[in-house]
Structure 1
Amino acid sequence: MIDFWLAAGLLLLVALSFLLIPVLRGRRAQLEEDRTALNVALYQERVAELQTQQEEGVLDAGQMDTGRAEAARELLADTEGVEAPRVSRLGKPLPLLAAILVPVLGLGLYLHFGASDKVELTREFTQAPQSMEEMTRRLERAVEAQPDSAEGLYFLGRTYMAQDRPADAAKIFERAANVAGRQPELLGQWAQAQYFADGKKWSDKIQALTDEALKADPKEVTSLGLLGIAAFESERYQDAIDYWNRLLTQLPPDDNSRAALQGGIARASEKLVAGGGKLAEAPAAKVAAVLKVRVDLSPELKAKVQPGDSVFIFARATSGPPAPLAAKRLTVADLPATVELGDADAMMPQLKLSNFPEVQLVARISRAGQPTAGEWIGRSQPLASSTTAQQQLTIDSPDK
């Protein structure tokens, strides 16, 4: 912050110089004007002495003219280079008053409208916090400085949960949901914080939050985990198993929480059997979709393409997002070629071939290497994503 005020002070001095320099120049001009007036007075006094001497008969007319000319030369020599005095319309008091009011007014406006607190906060965040309490204070100040930042509210809520402050976290997540538009993840975090703030007592409010979150995103992990906990605590062990199994399918294979989740499922299963219940059969695992396709060029195009042209082969849903579900890249030199497109080639984890019943195969040639635009293209008819027979795809049309 010291650097900021030093820079501000330097700029202030520059601004004041534009106001004070004309005043100082005015003083200099006044001195030069006074000196000129003195020289004129001396000239007039010299001429008067010469006239007196002429009247007394000491000087004749020629000597009088010579003396007058000499006095005039001296006057011109003394005033040479002196600029004509400039008259200021503003006068001296106004620049001096402005020199005082400008910094005072500027400082007042900055303190009222400026962002010195944000500047200092940004500087603090460049340094690693020494403790969780320090991090919490920084986040609280960030939220105070930017109350409409959903990201700042989210991180502050997570920090409160890490510090076992669920009541504070619930209020922050509620604010974040209102700012960001009730995103499923925020609703899940809000419901979880509210559950622990209420002493692990389920309520209609928490149920409504989890229902809203899962309606918007059936795979919202916090809501699934929370519903499993609530079901286990109320001895609804089969519901707990179902929720946790749904959550388990969303976690990456190397996620550290998978072991704890599997342990919870095992305990719920034991309690269900011990109470005389029967485990429901787990739904059959969805078979990963794999499409095999052979790609070739039409005879008419073989003379028009270049070996280094890129070839993008992908599958997309006929009714769904336009983004490719699986894609691979070759070159014209590789054609004809047989490739497999499957769940392992998914561009995004939630967009897999097996999640969409019907897809279309597309192959595009792009000299610029752009998968979304090219020169030539080939498309298949819609087919089931579970198709196992090899498909033939020919690139034969201009890409429009």
Structure 2
Amino acid sequence: MITFWIVAAAMLIAAILCAVVPLMQREPAADAYRNRALNVSLHRRELADATHDRLAGLISADQHAALRSEIEQRVLADTRTPPALSVMRPPRQGTATRAATSALLIALFPAAACALYLKLGQPAALDLEDSFGASHDMSSASVEMMVSRLAFGLKSRVPDPRDAAKWATLARSYMALERPSDAAAAYTHAVALAPGDAQLRADFADTLASADEGRLDGRASDEIAAALAIEPSNPKALALAASAAFEARRFAIAIAYWRRLISTLDAASPTAVQAQKNIDEALSMSAVTVTLQLADGVHAPPDATVILSAHTQGAGNTLLAERHLSASELPATVILDDTFAINPADTLSAYPQVSVEARVVTATPGENLSGQTNVTGAENRRAALVIAAPPR
């Protein structure tokens, strides 16, 4: 803002000088009249001196006549009006008038400039720039000093639950200064003073992760669990829990946390939109991509239905997901994910090992066609099924 005012003042001064300086200058015609009057007065003095010398007998009559003739010639030359000035009139304005006009212009120019700026400009932009500049004028050294004073004051006090908010403020200040280890230490004091504050514990978990290269295991995981135990719908704790599960490749758990997070938010909010994108990514990573084709020499009626299903392995053999397609679509590549889950609480992404099966079902009795394989892994799982008649 200072730069703006300096430039504006310089432009205003230049405008005032352009108007006032010519006004205060003497007019050429006035100077000419004053010079001519002065010359005539000098010539009269010389003529009077010559006459006095003649009477005193210092010069002869011829010398006096010669001097008088010379003086008269000079008077004629000095009093001759030049063509350029003959059309000019003597100035009508005096010095006082010009000074008053100049003073009026000096007063009106700034007032008019300010009025025009208030009308056409954006004075609010100066306030914004001033506040923005003020926030940046504070040097890092002064911020460090303020934080150090706050830390010293808290450490020198007897532990008081009412100081939990101040310890949290100190922790956030350390995070702003990119000192996550000090921030984690400050949050330790804050949580000790207010263990029932879910938001405080979620912030503590986030800070611990920042101090540990982003990892959300160990103490950070404990703080997330504690925050959710206190407040199951805490948005930050849910987001951190989902991120921790996703990093551990526990996609079903991550998806469940993200869905709980979305239920606490406006569906159109940026956080909810991002959570849905995370869910889609987790679904794609935990899905099973199955390539289906009929065995050589095997034919299925075009109106037959192919049922592709995923089951848990072992004695339970629980049906997890199922998808139908027409036999006329074979060969085909089909994706099974949690959107095809039979039970939303028991989804495909929750099991690292599943069994995938394809059966061909026809409206008329006939030979059974099927194929089955096992899939292992937590992400980007693939399977190839060849549908054939069972061995006889």
Alignment TM-score, normalising by the size of structure 1: 0.34
